[in-house]
Amino acid sequence: MTIISDFMQKDHVDIDAIAERATNAAAAGDAATMAKEGAEFLKRLRLHIDQEEKLLFPAFEERTGMREGGPSVQMKMEHDDMRPIIEQMHAAVAAKDAATYQRASKALFDILVPHNQKEEQMMYPMLDDTMGAEAGALLAEVKAMAA
């Protein structure tokens, strides 16, 4: 059985691979590929954040009572920090503006890399532990969001 940690970490890897293709295309001046891969990256990142904020974090907060502070609150604050940069990236994709995409992508990954490490090392294992026998049902809901 796949646990929440495994599924969400694999999603990080998959999303990062798409981001790398977009960034490489932007660096090569291939605006069409940058726009295609960039749009896919942003779509997948938005879904990933939605899965966390609509399903995983609320379930964690409900089980632990940590609604005002704690790891999920910190993760949501970091998502909030990413949102304006993600919007810049959307605009760059729409305009096929590789230079702006590259700058925004660097700014995003300055936040995203340590954010993902915290999720993988702390948040997701805590979710697995906290949810116990209910983790499978919660993961099924997460997967259904992507379908």
Contact 101, 89 (CB under 8 A): yes
> Per residue in 15-26, pLDDT tens?
999 999 999 999
CA dist., res. 93 & res. 21, Å (int): 13
User: How far lies 5's CA from each of 54, 78, 135, in Å?
Assistant: 17, 19, 10
The whole model's pTM is what? 0.95
> Per residue in 38-75, pLDDT tens?
999 999 999 999 999 999 999 999 999 988 888 999 99
Contact 49, 68 (CB under 8 A): no
Domains of the chain are: 4-146 (1.20.120.520)
Percent of the chain with pLDDT over 90: 91
DSSP code, position 146: H
The encoded tokens of residue 18 equal: 């798409």
CA atoms within 13 A on the CB side of 62: 10
For residue 76, count other CB atoms closer than 10 A to its CB: 15
